[in-house]
């Protein structure tokens, strides 16, 4: 079929019949073009509007950044952030939001919810927040119940007809440091989500700088507080002036409406106040049934956010008309490892911020008060007999007379003869000689009556007590009563004890020694017992006992037990630099060691505790010589000279194959028995090696001791800074610095001494094995920490949650780095944590709250 052809006319115009159709097509095309232009204009206008809206949001974001950077308080910073997120959903009644800050070394996150003013520790497992934290992915859903990872105990609670979104915030290194969850009626715009995620590095850095600024302020406040009490150990000040210094110091840490120091009268089961009784009425309360007493009974800091709602609150005791809302109760003179009862409780009521507005006590406040309380405890314990006197005087004298006498140096004899004593039996006799002249430099007078009753600690006066374990003993998991029984057993061991030793006198001696060890982080009774136990094991397990005479052996044990008695928690360097009374008394030479020796024999002047009373004058002089020289021999200034002397003694036998072959008195060891001075040198060696013996135990125990000494070093650094002295321990919060210090101590200080000792006493070779394992652990940690970011000494790789024995930074610049297996014990995790304790470094891992190291799970040294 042929196609139809329409021929054009001669003029070239189309036929008339087709003209209308062609015009219609032009109109249609023109309309389409116009519509396309309109659509394009509409789209362009929409894009312009969107861009303007985005620009406005970016301007809001810039203002947010300025507001964040202007904040120096982390709580205010989080409030600003929450206000920004809430502004993304105006007038949305279904809007909810929460932020989870990662604590990456542990199984916990800090959940912060706005308006509730709460910070809750939640696990990092089995939740949407945990999933986002581990993967970095964004989760969005309308029905939370359909998400397998949803955990109602952790994640936000679902809201009807609301959209859920969860996303991570990254720090400058690309790691998730926080997870944000939000619920709203409408979905979060992708641009808003992108803006929030872009805020991550800025928010992380702002928080880190705020933490550093806060750490500096906390350090300054703590140092100012310590500065008020560093001179309070002087006996020239009255006890009330001392208490006033303590209260002023506490107000430098936090400003409160009321600060009161309550002393504890355990025989009467009462609390009483030195600071207020002569001004108003004699404040004296029963310990039971109040928050104040709960702090004393639990020996733990109690931080109350709303006191009246606490079940332990007693308005008559805990309020006293002050309108108590927030309260902090700090026990003074406690040490959980020694099960020591506190001697006082510091009560702080209603904390005020810089604007004089009520605020809550934080975890940082608790840390600062812990260091402060450690120093106050030493001073109060040294002045305990004065406080006993004032307590007695408050009972027996009128209020006005008590006020007059309490503020001046008093005539104790007149006070006790004017009215019978009603405090304790024979207390007047005890106190009549308890004060010493204000010109005296010795802070510890002798007692003329027995120490406090022993019936609660020693169930029987029989010497039939449990056999003392050898090197398997873990002092951190052993009850105090058992340790005291072991001490009695060691001193009464027939191989060690002096003849005709009265067990009751031994018990009294042990008790008074324990009473004169202060609750320092390291130099406490637990350390004294550990050195005694190590010395005992050396004597029992080696041939050293065959060289030494009975006075040598017994003197060795007494010196080991008392070698750090009345230790103030400072080093000799601090005593000399601060020009303390002890440094002046002992002419800057082995200041603390000479004080320990002098304190030991001052206590032995009491006939009820004098375990040397059965010796003849010549025997007593020799025993005293052994004990004094052994205690002074623990002075680290003599350490390398001591090693050199041991090397010289070994040199003649260095080429001998085995000088101790089945010979109980081998030629090398027998050289120590040639004279009294040789035997005393061996005793010095045993006590000194035992004093440094923490690192020859298994790693879990060695690391625990490392944590304790690091804490004491941090306290000394605070004191040195407060007094303007050279700081001997810098960067206490830096884990690498801490591990390097411990490695140097173990490898360069402890190992040479124990290597020399094992030459003479080869049965101690297993101790060297433990020491070498501990040194290897420190070396491994140093390698791990040096691989981390050079930009931050506190920057760490993210290990497993239960990484045993890894070093982690301190919570603040003032608190020491630690080995994480001992950070917290089971059940000790605070439900209310501050930002500084949870986000000490957002670019890295934070605190470890797992106490999983085998054998010492139930012990905590800090917190």
Q: Which of 216-220, 305-309, 525-529 has the lowest mean pLDDT?
A: 216-220
Q: Confidence band (pLDDT; 50, 70, 90) for 338?
A: low
- Which tokens belong to 810? 């301190």
Q: Is 101 helix (H, G, I), strand (E, B) or coil?
A: strand
Q: What is the pLDDT of residues 652-691, one digit of tens each?
A: 877 655 544 444 345 778 778 788 999 999 999 999 999 9
Q: What is the pLDDT of residue 551?
A: 93
- CB contact burial 465-493 (16+ within 10 A = b; e otherwise): beebeeeebebbebebeebbbbbbbbbbb
What is the distance in angstroms between the CA of the first residue and the CA of the last residue of the chain?
Answer: 103
Q: Which of 329-338, 514-523, 851-860 has the lowest mean pLDDT?
A: 851-860
**Other residues' Cβ atoms within 10 Å of the Cβ of residue 136:** 15
Identify whether 755 is a catalytic site residue: no
Q: Confidence band (pLDDT; 50, 70, 90) for 7?
A: low
Q: How far apart are CA 218 and CA 285, in angstroms?
A: 33
Maximum CA extent, the chain: 157
Q: What is the pLDDT of residue 318?
A: 86
Which entry of 335, 523, 688, 777 is annotated as an active-site residue?
523
pLDDT over 90, % of the chain = 27
pLDDT of residue 409 exceeding 50, the answer is: no
Q: Decide if 102 contacts 109 (C-beta within 8 A).
A: yes
Q: How far apart are CA 615 and CA 13, in angstroms?
A: 147
Strand 344-352, strand 358-359: pairing: antiparallel
Q: How far apart are CA 837 and CA 579, in angstroms?
A: 36
What domains can you pick out in the chain, each with its CATH number? 59-215 (3.30.450.40), 236-398 (3.30.450.40), 480-654+668-780 (1.10.1300.10)
Q: Confidence band (pLDDT; 50, 70, 90) for 706?
A: very high
Angle at 514 between CA 269 and CA 524, to 5 degrees: 105
pLDDT over 70, % of the chain = 72
- CB contact burial 503-513 (16+ within 10 A = b; e otherwise): bebbbbbbbbb
359, containing H or E segment: strand 358-359
pLDDT of residue 461 exceeding 70, the answer is: no
Q: Which of 284-288, 383-387, 602-606, 748-752 has the lowest mean pLDDT?
A: 383-387
Q: Confidence band (pLDDT; 50, 70, 90) for 438?
A: very low
Q: What is the pLDDT of residue 44?
A: 84
Which residues contribute to the annotated binding site? 523-527, 563-564, 691, 742
CA dihedral angle for residue 726, residue 728, residue 734, residue 736, rounded to 10 degrees: 140
Return the residue matching tokens 């894009």.
47
Q: What is the pLDDT of residue 590?
A: 92
- Considering the chain, what is the average pLDDT of its residues? 76
Q: What is the pLDDT of residues 799-837, one digit of tens each?
A: 434 466 788 887 766 678 888 754 333 333 333 333 333
Q: How far apart are CA 354 and CA 358, in angstroms?
A: 10
Closest CA to 227 of 611, 685, 720: 720
CA dihedral angle for residue 824, residue 857, residue 827, residue 294, rounded to 10 degrees: -90
pLDDT of residue 856 exceeding 70, the answer is: no
Q: How far apart are CA 463 and CA 424, in angstroms?
A: 29
Count Cα neighbours of 851 within 13 Å in the Cβ-side half-sphere: 18
Q: What is the pLDDT of residue 627?
A: 96
**Which residues, 6+ apart, have CB-to-CB distance to 323 below 8 Å?**
350
Which residues contribute to the annotated binding site for Zn(2+)? 527, 563-564, 691
**CB-count exposure of residue 173 (10 Å: 0-12, 13-18, 19+):** middle
Q: Confidence band (pLDDT; 50, 70, 90) for 330?
A: very high
| Of residues 749 and 3, more confidently modeled | 749
Q: What is the pLDDT of residues 98-144, one digit of tens each?
A: 999 886 556 678 888 886 656 777 887 788 988 898 888 888 888 88
CA distances (Å), 770 to each of 22, 353, 527, 765, in order? 104, 51, 19, 9
Which residues contribute to the annotated binding site for AMP? 523-527, 564, 691, 742
- Which tokens belong to 143? 């029905």
Q: What is the pLDDT of residues 384-398, one digit of tens each?
A: 766 776 666 555 544
Q: Decide if 64 contacts 196 (C-beta within 8 A).
A: no
> Which residues partner with 165 through β-bridges?
140, 182
CA distances (Å), 491 to each of 123, 455, 465, 501, 532, in order? 49, 19, 12, 9, 10
pLDDT of residue 307 exceeding 70, the answer is: yes
Q: What is the pLDDT of residue 363?
A: 77
Q: What is the pLDDT of residue 741?
A: 92
| Of residues 145 and 660, more confidently modeled | 145
Q: What is the pLDDT of residue 385?
A: 67
83, containing H or E segment: helix 74-87
pLDDT of residue 227 exceeding 70, the answer is: no
Q: What is the pLDDT of residue 460?
A: 39
Q: What is the pLDDT of residues 588-632, one digit of tens each?
A: 999 999 999 999 999 999 989 999 998 999 999 999 999 999 999
Return the residue matching tokens 């090197």.
471
Is the pTM higher than 0.75? no
Q: Decide if 301 contacts 295 (C-beta within 8 A).
A: yes
Q: Decide if 178 contacts 99 (C-beta within 8 A).
A: yes
Q: Decide if 716 contacts 730 (C-beta within 8 A).
A: no
Q: How far apart are CA 296 and CA 482, in angstroms?
A: 23
310, containing H or E segment: none
């Amino acid at each position: 079929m042929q196609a139809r052809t329409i021929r054009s006319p001669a003029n070239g115009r189309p036929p008339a019949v087709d003209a209308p159709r062609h015009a219609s097509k032009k109109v249609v095309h023109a309309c389409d073009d116009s519509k396309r232009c309109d659509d394009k204009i509409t789209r362009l206008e929409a894009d312009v509007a969107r861009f303007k809206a985005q620009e406005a949001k970016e301007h809001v974001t810039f203002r947010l950044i300025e507001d964040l950077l202007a904040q120096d308080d982390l709580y205010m910073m989080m409030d600003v952030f929450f206000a920004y997120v809430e502004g993304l959903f105006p007038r949305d009644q279904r809007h909810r939001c929460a932020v989870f800050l990662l604590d990456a070394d542990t199984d916990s996150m800090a959940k912060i919810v706005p308006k509730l003013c709460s910070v809750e520790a939640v696990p990092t497992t089995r939740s949407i927040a945990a999933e986002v934290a581990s993967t970095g992915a964004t989760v969005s859903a309308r029905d939370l119940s359909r998400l397998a990872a949803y955990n109602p105990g952790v994640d936000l609670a679902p809201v009807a007809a609301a959209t859920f979104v969860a996303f991570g915030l990254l720090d400058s290194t690309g790691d998730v440091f926080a997870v944000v969850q939000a619920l709203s009626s409408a979905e979060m715009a992708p641009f808003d989500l992108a803006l929030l995620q872009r805020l991550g590095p800025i928010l992380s850095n702002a928080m880190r700088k705020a933490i550093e600024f806060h750490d500096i302020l906390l350090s300054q406040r703590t140092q100012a507080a310590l500065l008020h009490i560093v001179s309070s150990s002087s006996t020239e000040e009255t006890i009330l002036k001392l208490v006033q210094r303590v209260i002023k110091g506490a107000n430098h840490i936090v400003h409160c409406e009321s600060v009161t120091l309550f002393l504890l009268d355990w025989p009467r089961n009462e609390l009483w106040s030195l600071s207020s009784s002569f001004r108003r009425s004699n404040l004296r309360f029963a310990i039971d049934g109040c928050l104040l007493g709960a702090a004393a009974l639990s020996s733990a800091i109690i931080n109350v956010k709303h006191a009246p709602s606490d079940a332990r609150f007693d308005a008559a005791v805990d309020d006293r008309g002050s309108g108590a809302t927030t309260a902090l109760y700090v026990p003074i003179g406690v040490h959980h490892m020694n099960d020591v009862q506190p001697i006082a409780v510091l009560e702080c009521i209603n904390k005020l911020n810089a604007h004089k507005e009520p605020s809550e006590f934080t975890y940082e406040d608790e840390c600062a008060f812990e260091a402060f309380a450690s120093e106050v405890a030493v001073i109060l314990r040294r002045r305990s007999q004065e406080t006993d006197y004032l307590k007695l005087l408050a009972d027996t004298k009128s209020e006005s007379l008590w006020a007059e006498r309490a503020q001046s140096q008093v005539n104790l004899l007149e006070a006790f003869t004017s009215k019978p004593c009603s405090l304790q039996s024979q207390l007047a006799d005890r106190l009549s000689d308890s004060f010493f002249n204000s010109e005296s430099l010795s802070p510890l007078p002798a007692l003329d009556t027995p120490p406090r009753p022993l019936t609660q600690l020693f169930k029987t006066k029989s010497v039939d007590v449990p056999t003392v374990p050898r090197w398997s003993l873990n002092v951190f998991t052993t009850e105090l009563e058992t340790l005291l029984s072991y001490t009695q057993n060691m001193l009464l061991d027939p191989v060690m004890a002096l003849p005709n030793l009265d067990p009751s006198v031994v018990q009294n001696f042990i008790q008074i020694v324990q009473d004169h060890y202060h609750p320092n982080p390291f130099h406490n009774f637990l350390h004294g017992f550990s050195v005694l136990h190590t010395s005992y094991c050396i004597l029992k397990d080696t041939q050293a006992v065959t060289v030494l005479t009975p006075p040598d052996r017994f003197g060795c044990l007494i010196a080991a037990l008392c070698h750090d008695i009345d230790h103030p928690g400072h080093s000799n360097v601090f005593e000399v630099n601060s020009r303390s009374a002890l440094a002046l008394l002992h002419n800057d030479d082995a200041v603390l060691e000479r004080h320990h020796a002098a304190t030991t024999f001052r206590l032995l002047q009491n006939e009820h505790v004098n375990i040397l009373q059965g010796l003849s004058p010549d025997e007593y002089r020799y025993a005293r010589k052994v004990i004094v020289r052994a205690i002074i021999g623990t002075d680290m200034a003599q350490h390398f000279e001591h090693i050199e002397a041991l090397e010289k003694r070994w040199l003649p036998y260095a080429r001998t194959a085995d000088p101790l072959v089945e010979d109980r008195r081998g030629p090398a060891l027998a050289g120590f028995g040639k004279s009294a001075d040789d035997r005393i040198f061996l005793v010095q060696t045993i006590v000194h090696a035992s004093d440094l013996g923490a690192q020859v135990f298994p790693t879990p125990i060695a690391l625990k001791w490392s944590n304790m000494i690091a804490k004491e070093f941090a306290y000394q650094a605070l004191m040195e800074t407060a007094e303007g002295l050279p700081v001997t321990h810098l960067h206490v919060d830096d884990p690498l610095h801490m591990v390097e210090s411990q490695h140097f101590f173990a490898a360069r200080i402890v190992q040479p001494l124990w290597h020399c000792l094992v030459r003479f006493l080869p049965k101690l070779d297993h101790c060297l094995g433990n020491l070498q394992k501990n040194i290897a652990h420190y070396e491994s940690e140093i390698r791990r920490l040096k691989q981390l970011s050079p930009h931050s000494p506190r920057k760490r790789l993210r290990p497993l949650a239960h990484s045993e024995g890894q070093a982690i930074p301190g919570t603040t610049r003032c608190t020491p780095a630690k080995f994480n297996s001992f950070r917290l014990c089971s059940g000790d995790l605070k439900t209310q944590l501050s930002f500084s304790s949870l986000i000490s470094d957002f670019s890295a891992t934070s605190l470890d709250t797992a106490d999983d190291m085998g054998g010492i799970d139930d012990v905590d040294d800090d917190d």
